[in-house]
Amino acid sequence: MSKTIQIAIDGPAGAGKSTVAKALAAKLGYIYIDTGAMYRAITLIMLENDIALTDEERISDILKTVKITFGDSMPDGRQKVYCNAVDCTEKIRSPEVSRHVSEVSALPIVRRALVDKQRQIAGENNVIMDGRDIGTVVLPHAQHKFFLTATLEERTRRRSEEMRNAGMAMDFDVLKSEIAQRDEKDSQRIDSPLKAADDAVLIDTSKMSLDEVIENLFSRI
Ligand code: DC
């Protein structure tokens, strides 16, 4: 058992993980780590440098040298993300990155490097970490594990609103089918798929307000 407090929040895209994790981290004074942002940052760098999924050498170079850091929250609540000290907050959320991130995050070489990094942060700080494999693989001994779900319709509605607020509005049905495809890929991959840990508390947030979800988790912690 680690000396730090670790809280794992997993679930599919748009289940409300990041908003809830961020709010809980602020309430508890813990560090919030958005692991999806880390996979997105690697995807962005690979796209910008035209690196193929099969080019292990160049991917390995990136993984060894890249510095992904998190900054303060912005007025809309989102956390700033920096790739090698350059603000990449907007770019990592682009539809282009969203379309490729599942393939990149299925690569064992990428997962190994990012999981190491995530464990290191969690070994040194009290953390709330959100992702797909936090309770199962990254922090199997986390003191609290939650798995948030919601219907595909509701998750699309939330993502759609988020994207509109970020000035990246997308057609609802296109977004819905992209989210469904991403969930499918994330759940079917061989290396640490999207899955609830056996000891995770499952919460369907479809009909809950954000405050209700936060309160629910907070009371259990
Ligand atoms: O949380 P998000 O939608 O920003 O995550 C983007 C992608 O990153 C997601 O489709 C799968 C991948 N991911 C992962 O494989 N493991 C994690 N712990 C977090 C995200």
Q: Is 16 among the domain residues?
A: yes
Residue 143 covered by a domain: yes
**Count of domains forming the chain:** 1
Pocket test for ligand 1, best of 22, 132, 136 (most atoms within 8 A of CB): 132
Q: Give the tokens for residue 147.
A: 């798995």
Q: Do the domain assignments include residue 69?
A: yes
Q: Is 13 in the pocket of ligand 1 (CB under 6 A)?
A: yes
| Residue 123, in any domain of the structure | yes
| 188, containing H or E segment | helix 172-188
Question: Can you give the pLDDT at residue 168?
Answer: 84
158-191 tens-digit pLDDT: 999 988 988 888 899 999 999 999 999 999 999 9
Which run of H or of E encompasses 80?
Answer: strand 79-83
Q: Which of 105, 107, 152, 183 to mutate to test the pocket of ligand 1 (most atoms within 8 A of CB)?
A: 105
* pLDDT mean across residues, the chain: 93
Could you read off the pLDDT of 60-80 as tens digits, one per residue?
999 999 999 998 776 666 789
- Could you give the residue ranges of the DSSP H alpha helices within 2-142? 17-28, 35-48, 56-65, 95-105, 108-124
pTM, two decimals, is 0.93
- Residue 129 in domain: yes
Range of the domain at 11: 6-220
H helices present in 50-171, as ranges: 56-65, 95-105, 108-124, 152-165
Domain assignment present for residue 1? The answer is no
Hey, which residues does 31 pair with through a beta bridge?
127
pLDDT tens string for the chain (221 positions)? 568 999 999 999 989 899 999 999 999 999 999 999 999 999 999 999 999 999 999 999 999 999 999 987 766 667 899 999 999 999 999 999 999 999 999 999 999 999 999 999 999 999 999 999 999 999 999 999 999 999 999 999 999 998 898 888 889 999 999 999 999 999 999 999 999 999 999 999 999 999 999 999 999 99
CB of residue 102 inside a 6 A radius of ligand 1 = yes
Q: In this structure, is residue 142 part of a structural domain?
A: yes
Measured distance CA(133)–CA(139) in Å, rounded? 8
- Domain membership of residue 183 (yes or no) is yes
CATH code for position 123: 3.40.50.300
Q: Which amino acid is at 188?
A: Q
